[in-house]
Structure 1
Amino acid sequence: MTVRGLISSITQQEDLNFLLTNRIPRAAVTRFMGWFSKIENPIVRDLSIACWRLFSDLDLSEAKKTEFKSLHDCFTRELRPGLRPFDPDPAVIASPSDAIIGAHGRIEDTKLFQIKGAPYALLDLLGDPALVERHRNGRFITLRLTSSMYHRFHAPADCRIEKVTFIHGDVWNVNPIALKRVERLFCKNERAVLQARLATGEPLTLVPVAAILVASIRLHFLNRTLNAQTRGPVTFPCDASATKGDELGWFEHGSTIIVLTPDRFEFCENVADGARIRAGEPLFRKPAA
């Protein structure tokens, strides 16, 4: 058995995986990773990336550049132009990121699910009763980014971002093992709520959820990095126009994005539990009037 195979076998044991990724000082480890990943030392960089390859299926063949200044520079890498074309159909809401599709479906009044049989309330996730009303009985999809994936996320449609709310919280791992064991996990972790409207007027909400080792969420249109050290106002009114495919920001490790739409949108045929999806591929379609 290869070293990677042995590591994979060990980490797939649920009790051990949960212990190693959650029963540790999560916030302290995350702060440390935020500092460590930015060390611009060739030896530290090369050893870190080599270790990362052992634990994952990291593939840098699509990266825009082949040399990185630091582990952080590698985490937040750009891709070569043209590798993530966005579906041009204006009726389609595309995936904002590379991801594995998790729980998705209709919001039952204001209840949605992190996995089957594990509900949570939309108000607990968003913290805004008015926004909850916009998505009552709507649709949701959970997109999980693994550590080895491309970490940047993009506008899933032509839209105008009206408001961002940053919600302080914990940094639980968001892998399927933790989702089975930690109730309302997404409502406990740090997250940003991006309120937007489509060009046709319907609400669209993206909720990037941070996780262990995610030192921050970068939002370009605010020119801010949001993390545990964010102080002062946590609500940011804005009026930022985004064209489908525009880069909105990045995570500094793997994490999750929850996408919320009104009820008239339908899931596209490629949406299925556990399916891998790339940024730009279709998620929702608005039926013709």
Structure 2
Amino acid sequence: MTFRHALQRLLAQEDLNFLLTNRLPRQTLTRFMGWFSKIEQPLVRSASIAIWKFFGDLDLRDAKKQTFTSMHDCFTRELQDGARVVDQATDVLSSPVDAIVGESGPIEGTKVFQAKGFPYTLQDLIGPDEDVAPWRNGSYVTLRLTSGMYHRFHAPYDCTVEKLRYFSGDTWNVNPVALKRVEKLFCKNERAFLSTRLRGGPVDGQRIALVPVAAILVASIRLHFLDVLLHLKYHGPKALACNAPLSKGQEMGWFQHGSTVIVLAPHGFHLCEGLAPGARVRMGQALLQWRG
């Protein structure tokens, strides 16, 4: 066993992993990493990316460029044209991100799960002021992004973003270790609720919600249709009306660093065959199918 694999196995031990990623000053570390990752000094940039590659799963083969000004520039990289194929079936929602499928399935009234035995409600997630009726007894999918993945997210269907609500919060790690230990973790972290209305096909008029959730070292969310950076120190309006039409597969925004996207769909949508917790999906791949 190589030193790298031995070290990765050590860090994967649940107690140590939880201690290192959650019992440290999370918000201070997150703000520090936000500053550090943008340093453009060549030695700092090169060393940071090299360490990232050593510990993580960073793969830059499909990146639009191969030379970066900083670690942040690498993290928020764009893809080469044609690197992802977007499923254009009119009864399919495509994955908004490259990710690992986490918990998913039917929404039990308004109850969903972050891990076995750890439920939370839609009201906990998107706030008591939001109408949860469109997703009652619907379906949900949790999509977890690892540090080395592509971190931009895209429209799952032709749609119009009608509303955004921002929640400033904590920065717990969102890996499986923490999800099995911290109740209602997604509902505690910084996140944004994006309410969209689908256009065209058999799902015309249906409401889909995307909830990007930030985490330790990875807070801050950027959206193309809003000239606002959502981050831990943001003190602007929490609810913003929008009228942002998007085409299926069109880029919506990106994590300044990255984390998780929760997809909420109304009754009638079901997870596509072959997808289960632990499966990897790529942006544009069929994720949820309308069966009426």
Using the size of structure 1 for normalisation, the TM-score is: 0.97
Q: Determine the C-alpha separation between the residues in 2 that align with 1:137 and 1:245.
A: 26
Paired with 1:201 and 1:130, the residues of 2 have a C-alpha distance of 18
AA aligned to 1:43 is L
8 Å contact kept, 2:212–2:260: yes
Alignment of 1:224-243 (within 5 A): 224-243=228-247
Partner of 1:230, secondary structure, is: coil
Q: Could you say what secondary structure the match of 2:8 adopts?
A: helix
Q: 1:254 aligns with which of 242, 251, 258?
A: 258
Matched-pair contact (CA < 8 Å) for 1:210–1:216? yes
- Matching residue of 2:215: 211
- Name the counterpart of 2:63: 63
After TM superposition, the structure 1 = structure 2 runs for residues 10-21 of structure 1, keeping only pairs within 5 Å, are 10-21=10-21
- Which deviations, in whole Å up to 9, do the C-alpha atoms of 1:3-22 show, x marking residues without a partner? 32022111111000000000
Distance 2:243 2:128 in 1: 19
Instruction: Work out whether 1:201 is the aligned partner of 2:205.
Output: yes
In structure 2, C-alpha distance between the alignment counterparts of 1:95 and 1:35, rounded to whole Å? 30
Letter in 1 for 2:115: I
Q: Would you say the 8 A contact 1:206–1:260 is kept in 2? A: yes
Q: State the match for 2:249 in structure 1.
A: 245
Per the alignment, residue 282 of structure 1 pairs with 286
Match of 1:159 in 2: 159
Aligned match of 2:8:
8
Task: Return the alpha-carbon distance in structure 1 between the equivalents of residues 198 and 145 of structure 2.
Answer: 24
How far did residue 131 of structure 1 move? 2.8
Number of residue pairs matched by the alignment: 288
CA distance in 2, matches of 1:198, 1:229: 32
2:116 touches 2:180 (CA, 8 Å); kept in 1?
A: no
SS at match of 1:79: coil
Q: Write the distance in 1 (CA, Å) between the matches of 2:189 and 2:94.
A: 25
Identity of aligned residues (%): 59
Contact 1:33 1:215 in 2 (8 A): no
On the 8 A contact 1:270/1:283 being kept in 2, the answer is no
Shift in CA distance, 215/110, structure 1 to aligned 2, threshold 3 Å: closer
2:270 aligned with 1:266, yes or no? yes
Task: Report the CA distance between 1:116 and its aligned residue.
Answer: 1.6
Q: Name the residue aligned to 1:115.
A: 115
Give 1:75's aligned amino acid. F
Structure 2 CA distance, aligned partners of 1:131 and 1:226? Answer: 23
Unaligned 5+ runs, structure 2: none
Query: Could you tell me which residue of structure 1 aligns to residue 141 of structure 2?
Result: 141
Q: Deviations over 1:56-91 (max 9, x none)?
A: 121111111010000000000011000111101111
Structure 1 residue ranges without an equivalent (≥5): none
Distance 2:141 2:219 in 1: 24
For the 8 Å contact 2:171–2:219, the answer to whether it is kept is no
Deviates more, 1:62-71 or 1:261-270: 261-270
Distance 2:136 2:160 in 1: 21
Q: Which residue of 1 aligns with 2:78?
A: 78
Aligned to 1:47: 47
Q: Which shows bigger deviation, 129-138 or 219-228?
A: 129-138
1:6–1:254 Cα change, 3 Å: farther
After the TM superposition, list the runs of 4 or more consecutive aligned residues in structure 1 that deviate by more than 4 angstroms.
none
RMSD in angstroms over aligned alpha carbons?
A: 1.0
Q: Deviations over 1:2-53 (max 9, x none)?
A: 2320221111110000000000000000000000000111000000001101
- Give the C-alpha shift of residue 128 in structure 1: 4.1
What are the Cα deviations for residues 160-212 of structure 1, in whole angstroms up to 9, with x where unaligned? 00000000110000000000000000000000000001110010000000000
CA contact (8 A) 2:112 2:122 kept: yes
Cα distance in 2 for residues equivalent to 1:241 and 1:16: 45
Equivalent position of 2:101 in the other structure: 101
